[in-house]
Amino acid sequence: MYRATVGQTLRAYRTRSGRSTFDIASAAGMTPRQYEALETGSGWPGAAAYTAALEALQIPAEARTGLNFCGKPLGTALAATLRGFTVPAIMVDHGWRVVEANRQATRLLPELIQPGRSLLRWILCSPEARWHLVNAVDVAGTFAAVLYNALVMAPFDPDLWSLANEIKEDVQKVGRGKSPDVDGLDLVWRTESGPYQMVSLFVSVPARRPDLRQIALHIEPLLLPGQDPGTEQWSEAVLAGIARCAVCQSDMVYEWGPVYRCPRDCWEAVDATVLEEEVANVVLPRVYTEGALAGLAQLQEVVMACGSQPALPAPVSVQHALYQWRHQMPLSARRELVASWVASVAVSRGGPAATIGGLSLDFCWLPGS
């Protein structure tokens, strides 16, 4: 059976009486913005203001059965909904103080998810939050806007005023230009071990409890440790059409083994992994210069803060890039990287410039590389 939300009920009584939101707000001793927030569910001005609105609307006592919820615990249906989430879910009050959390949320944040603890205070003031959140300043700025909006709605809440006086100046500055809407906000979560995670917040107002906010946290790993980020495989080898025999200048053939072989058998076939890594040892230092690494790190922070999920984290050094080449970079990415820089590489055995693998490599670089 359909049940109207609290806001819809208030609007119905006001419309029936022929009065405007300004009329009701004035009669209840609140601002029009505070009353409108009650009807739309966009804010909560507090229990006293809400009760005053019920009186101003002259809603009879017998019609207030579903409206007298202030100060009461979660109902059975709402608590069951919270427990039914397969992701971490939290119920908070208008000041973002925890009312109840499901098991998944308790496991995720065991110390924070306790009744009465403030998520707002944790995000805005906690050093732990600043460590966990890669995009901490942006997230804190958004929640500073949430705090200021909550103060507009409930200007006499002492906890909110205390928190407003505690937050850092840099957060205040960022918060002034932010929207207080956190629905869909992405948190880039730094873990002590394993991959970073993207935590997306989805916030809703329970239909019969406008004094509460229900938050579901959807979590996805940015990179699964020990796995190739992609499954796509190129039909060609990494060096197909690039590796050439230095003796006869023929393109080397990639075949079972896997090996690269001169089609005229000018010299013995070479292990494919050995040749590809020797090429990487020359190419990657040329690609990942100090300036390039710094630029990639900055770009990664921006991309991740915007909610995108990089297939691989930006390397922090040439050695890190070589590690990714060996253990994490899919065949398609290795192929694309080499093909973007190298026109061809002539390969032969031995010689004065032979590598540790006993190969001599003569690179022909693409223009601009």
Angle at 166 between CA 160 and CA 172, to 5 degrees: 90
Distance between CA 195 and CA 221 in Å, rounded?
6
What tokens does 119 get?
A: 């998520």
Distance between CA 259 and CA 208 in Å, rounded?
68
CB atoms under 10 Å from CB of 34, counted, come to 23
Q: Render each residue's pLDDT in the chain as its tens digit; 369 residues.
A: 446 678 888 899 999 999 999 999 999 999 999 899 888 888 888 888 888 998 999 988 888 877 878 777 888 888 888 888 888 899 998 888 898 888 888 877 777 777 788 889 989 988 888 888 878 888 888 998 888 888 888 888 888 888 888 887 766 676 677 888 888 888 888 776 555 678 889 988 887 888 899 999 888 765 433 333 443 333 468 898 899 999 999 998 887 557 888 888 888 888 888 899 999 999 999 999 988 888 888 888 777 777 777 778 888 889 999 988 988 888 888 999 999 999 999 998 877 666 666 889 999 999 876
For position 256, what pLDDT does the model report? 58
Q: What is the pTM of this model?
A: 0.55
Distance between CA 341 and CA 338 in Å, rounded?
5
- Return all residues near 203 (Cβ < 8 A) that are at least 6 apart: 182, 183, 213, 214, 215
Instruction: Tally helices (H) and strands (E) across the chain.
Output: 15, 11
CB 246 within 8 A of CB 259: no
For position 286, what pLDDT does the model report? 93
For position 196, what pLDDT does the model report? 65
For position 234, what pLDDT does the model report? 31
What tokens does 126 get?
A: 């906690």
What tokens does 147 get?
A: 């705090």
CB 341 within 8 A of CB 267: no
Angle at 200 between CA 196 and CA 202, to 5 degrees: 160
Q: What is the crossing angle of helices 318-327 and 272-287, to 10°?
A: 150
- H or E element: which one contains 219? strand 212-221
